[in-house]
Structure 1
Amino acid sequence: MKFDNPEDIIQFTPLWEGERFANGRPKVPEDVLRRMRKITVEEAWGPLWHRGYTFQFEGEFKIIHPDQIMVGRAVTAVMVPKRPDLHESLLDYGHRQEGRKGFFNQWVIDSLVEDDVVVVDMFDKVQLGTYVGGNLSTAISTRTKRGGAVIWGGIRDNQQISEIDNINVYYRGSDPTAIADVTMVGMNVPTRIGKAICLPGDIVLGTPAGVIFIPPHLAELTVVQAEKSQVRDIFGFIRLKEGVYSTAQIDAAWNSDLYRDFVDWFDSDEAASGYRHLSWEKELEEARKLHGSGPGGDVRL
């Protein structure tokens, strides 16, 4: 086996058609990451769930900075309990054949770049399962700038890590012991985090509710649908306060007349200025086809 193997990563992510890192990991554009920071777990969850991606969220974490949003591209690792023959073979292979330094967790962190998030299955091990402490968290901070870590296992040096404010860490528990008796059997491979699955290059969205892993080929669609939901809500609140529409009209499908009112508002009102990269041609056309200017079925995405 090879660690961080480009051929494997490309095989795991065949639906991604955009730019990739040298190791084959999907590189979702920075603009999508920036916009992702403004959406909620629920807004991200909907487009994934309705497309069959029903195992992307996990909420059973402790969080170093509970009020801080984390967004980045996943770098994954899978750890297992130590078996001496396997352990020595893989450690030796990494050192001799791939030129890696230190222990398995250091290999992963040494590979990080800006906007990365480490995603590690430590099989829920906390004692002797502390994947990062103060030093490695500082390295994550330096390399990723605003990324972090999602660890299905433990951390140590919580007080030191909590002072690093440009990253976030999601973890299962803390313990003063150092990492031991574990072996890495995969780097940038499919990784289980509790009830969820994460692939290398997934967009990791961490919020106070937990973490959701967004496949790269669905990242921009997810952001667009979330932004459309947000700006429709802004318009709806305004029109409800003005008494123009009832809650039933706003909450139900929008007919073409209501959509035209919305688009006129969208093109001119300052409250919509941050969303003007969005297009509404598809929604207008669907409204016309489904029910013209009368009431009808839901055309929302």
Structure 2
Amino acid sequence: MTARRFRDSARYWRTPLLPGADLLTAEYHEHTFAPHWHDAYAIPVIEEGAECYRYRGTQYVAEAGTVPVISPGELHTGSRAVDEGWRYRVMYVPVDYLQALAAEIAGRAQPLPWFGADVIRDPDLARRLSRAHQLLEADTDRRRAGSGSGSGSGSSIGADSVPAGDALAVESALLDALSTLLVRHGSTAEAPLRPQTNDPRVETMKSLLAADLATPLRVADLAEAVGLSPFHATRLFTQATGLPPHAWRTQLRLQRALAPLRAGASVADVAAASGFTDQSHFTRHFRRVFGVPPGRWQSS
């Protein structure tokens, strides 16, 4: 029997049970993710099909039942590895949340958790993460239904619509899944630095690129700031970050656009404030990284 082909469909959502996190339920076939990074830990569970992605200089394939964790700030891609595509659930867990959980487990302060680059093949962990994600999504849907039911509770998230026992069970499943990930596969060892990532000239160029995202810059401006030719400045930056300066700045613009979108700012205003030439330019780049247009991401 021929496997069904997945369609490009993505739903982003949030829950008060995992503060500051974005969660994603999605399936993809045609979509290809451009090189990008996240400010949070990306913790996916592949439920069907398979995804291929480039991460830390190596190409990986994550099949159903695997957990391909991506650490914060790490450049990576994403596309289908099999004809039908892939379906997955993802938690984008804030750095401070996972670090605090690691400290609770260890009983003392911990450095940032670090995960190896290899795909995690741990079926039991995958089941725990998938179950927690499903429970969080169902709980979020109940809260939304409650807030729009006209019950007069006055809660913007409909908390009264969810029995306390259910919320407790959901949060317990979440803590169980993330704790299992940390205990079995987390490390306190720092990821090895790529060559030249700590070069002060690269940091100077990053600071210049990030200072005012709406201000136009030329390669010559970066080169002059670090005393190199435009060619050598671009080469140094690209070797250290994995992206040329203009692409790195685009990724930073997209990450910084998320907060005003969450706050309800219009897509057009966010595009202008983030330094994109127009709304269509912003939308095109946003969809390549997040899989949906900014308006849909905002409404979900």
Which structure has the higher relative contact order (CA within 8 Å, separation 6+)?
1
User: What interval of TM-score do these two structures reach, taking the shorter chain for normalisation?
Assistant: under 0.3
Higher normalized helix content (fraction of residues): 2
TM-score normalised by the chain length of structure 2: 0.19
Higher normalized strand content (fraction of residues): 1
